[in-house]
Chain A
Amino acid sequence: MEKFKSFLIRKKKPVIFSVLGIAVFIICNALISSGTLGRQGAGLLVPICINIMLAVSLNLIVGFLGELSLGHAGFMSVGAYAGCLFTIHFDLPVYIEFPLALIIGGLVAAIFGVIIGLPALRLNGDYLAIVTLAFGEIIRSIINSLEFTGGAGGLKGINKFSNFSVAYIAAMLTIIVIVNLVHSRHGRAITAIRDNIISAEAMGINVVFYKLISFVMAAFFAGAAGVLYGHHLAILKPGTFDFNKSIEILVIVVLGGMGNITGSIIAAIIITILPEVLRDLSDYRMLIYSIALIVMMLSSSSPKLAELRSKIKGRLRPSTGKEVA
């Protein structure tokens, strides 16, 4: 008993996380089977999980590595096509075939992560962002012009394998892997590169390796998310994975807070549900996103607004005396 208690204290966060994770899973499943969520609500659960995977993985690149990737939809599409082509052409039992498809989609996307990560080793900032954008567009053009991907007409005949349980487990795995990575020495190395690449190198950090690892990991989970997406809609069209899709994922990351995984999860849930709830506002969706991006950036960086924010914070939360002068 004593041992168990000390275990609980030592691993407080992982324990809370596991309990919460299982509770959410049970509640959602209960809500689905009792029909409380309705068809529309239940239909949103898988997209929520997919968006969580996309946002959390992109956050690794944008929030922790500090580089802008504008081609996340490209990784997603590569994974989606690889995984869906696999389930179309192979005929194994579902419980083997689908997890395998998720892994294959992830791995193929990860290979593309290496291909994009390689130029990333030499470039940074605006140049890298534009290269990721270019890669995304190249991938889309190529998928569009190939025959075995179904071309512009899309890839049809995909089984609807995606259900809430699989999607939930995949999203949980994404979160666990990325959170653990970030809280390891490897994650600190990645964050150090974001904060100051020159002193990271001077501290003996292998910048090349960690940039690559970030891109590969992010691509893997985006690819797996793509496989879920394909098996949810039962059709893939190259047009879905355009630049706008990448931006939509970026919006989630920015709204949730760069470098804040919990924020990404909450923002992914809100951004997936909101358009369904506010159907009347669908014309204004992109406008609202764009204003949100600008306001978030200005409020986090503009000196005047930062001052205002700290004033408001100070009023809401009077000094706890925690800070040492």
Chain B
Amino acid sequence: MQQFCEQLLNGLNLGSVYALIALGYTMVYGIAKMLNFAHGDIIMVGAYTLLLSSTRFGLPWYLAVLLCAVVCCVLGVSIEKIAYKPLRNASPLTVLITAIGVSYFLQSSALLIFGSNKQKVDSLIKIKGFTVNGINVSGESIVTLSVTIVIMILLTLFIKKTKMGKAMLAVSEDKGAAQLMGVNVNATISLTFAIGSALAAVAGILYMSSYGFVGPYTGSLPGIKAFVAAVLGGIGSIPGAMLGGILLGIIESMAKTYISTDLADAIVFGILIVVLLFRPTGLLGKKRIEKV
């Protein structure tokens, strides 16, 4: 029981990180109708920024967090402007291959700059954990969970209550109609990439506080798994991304404990295939009628 509860907590911790990354995927997919394959690598960039700013140069934590968010935002928006924007009307195949290219570009650039060895990043979280009924609750878990919950609430409020949030919803429903209603589609898409990348930066920081090492490929696997989470929850749906992320995190840590560490990833991907086969719209996704 104690082990189960600790694994549940671990799962929630990991799941929160997945959920934050999945939000970026799902928002971009909802609005730009593309799978931003490079999204996972933004986490890696965020983690390296943290390494340089906090661990190497000793910036205070709030400046380090701010710097990470800004760097990732600028990167995300520039990627959109340079690589994706010219392809708005191209086939999905073309866009996806480009996104894979961007992902590889980020990874190989990091490899050239920082080398292939993983480097230690000091955790920003200094809060001490506590023990209830013999179950360890670490400071990292507390912070990760609370930060995730706060971000989810803020994001939901932003989309439901603000003008820009509503513009995002409008663009995701119908780009053309939104444009006719005076919504600046390009700005909205940029904003989506900015928010998604900032969330990835936060996810990167939280991921580092639990795992502690960054390498050029740090972002790729969590990125792909977060995409699985987004699909599981229903791509394009924000509550879906949260639910999918948390579920996936719990499943993964349970599988690691009770089945096999080697096969945990296979199980995660197996879930993706099963979901896509039997409920392609995910748990909370809407069905769309294709126009002919």
Contact = CB atoms under 8 A, between A and B. Distances in A.
Q: Do A and B bind each other?
A: yes
B180 interface: no
Nearest to A253: B97
A130 B87 contact: no
Contacts of A254: 97
A291 B231 contact: no
A97 interface: no
Interface string B98-113: 1011111101110110
Nearest to A302: B86
Given A301-B87, A305-B86, A131 B98 contact: no
A122 B280 contact: yes
A293 B86 contact: no
B94 A297 contact: yes
Contacts of B178: none
Contact of A250 (B100, B102, B262): B100
A294 B96 contact: no
A292 B102 CA distance: 10
**How many of chain A's residues touch chain B, expressed as a range?**
35 or more
B108 A290 contact: yes
Contact of A301 (B94, B107, B277, B290): B94
B52 interface: no
A299 to B, nearest CB: 10
Interface stretch (A36-44, A135-143, A224-232): A135-143
B93 A298 contact: no
A290 B97 contact: no
A283 B265 contact: no
B269 A286 contact: no
Contact of B35 (A129, A247, A304): A129
Contacts of A133: 224
Contact of B86 (A130, A145, A247, A304): A304
B90 interface: yes
A305 to B, nearest CB: 7
A131 B109 contact: no
Contact of B280 (A127, A137, A247): A127
A272 interface: no
Contact of A126 (B89, B92, B265): B92
B63 interface: no
Contact of B273 (A125, A135, A145, A284): A135
Contacts of A284: 108, 112
B87 A298 contact: yes
A290 B276 contact: no
Given A247-B104, A287-B108, A291-B101, A137 B266 contact: yes
Contacts of A198: 290, 292
B260 A145 contact: yes
Contact of A289 (B104, B227, B270): B104
B5 interface: no
A300 interface: yes
A269 B94 CA distance: 24
**How many of chain B's residues touch chain A, expressed as a range?**
35 or more
B106 to A, nearest CB: 8
Interface of A is mostly: helix
B272 interface: yes
Contacts of A141: 262-263, 265-266
B112 A247 contact: no
A66 interface: yes
A63 B292 CA distance: 24
B87 A134 contact: no
Contact of A286 (B98, B104, B292): B104
B109 A287 contact: yes
Contact of B277 (A122, A126, A293, A297): A122
A246 to B, nearest CB: 10
A297 B101 contact: yes
Contacts of B273: 119, 131, 134-135
A30 interface: no
Nearest to B87: A301
Interface string B60-83: 000000000000000000000001
B88 to A, nearest CB: 10
Contacts of A130: 35, 224, 227-228, 231, 272
Contacts of B29: 126
Given A141-B266, A294-B83, A302-B86, A123 B280 contact: yes
Nearest to B278: A122
A129 B252 CA distance: 22
A222 B30 CA distance: 35
Nearest to A67: B93
B252 to A, nearest CB: 13
9 contacts: A119-B277, A125-B96, A126-B34, A131-B273, A254-B97, A258-B93, A293-B97, A294-B83, A298-B86
Given A135-B273, A142-B266, A290-B104, 4 more contacts: A127-B231, A138-B269, A286-B104, A298-B83
Interface of A: 62, 66-68, 70, 119, 122-123, 125-127, 129-131, 133-135, 137-138, 141-142, 144-145, 198, 243, 247, 250, 254, 258, 283-284, 286-287, 289-294, 297-298, 300-305
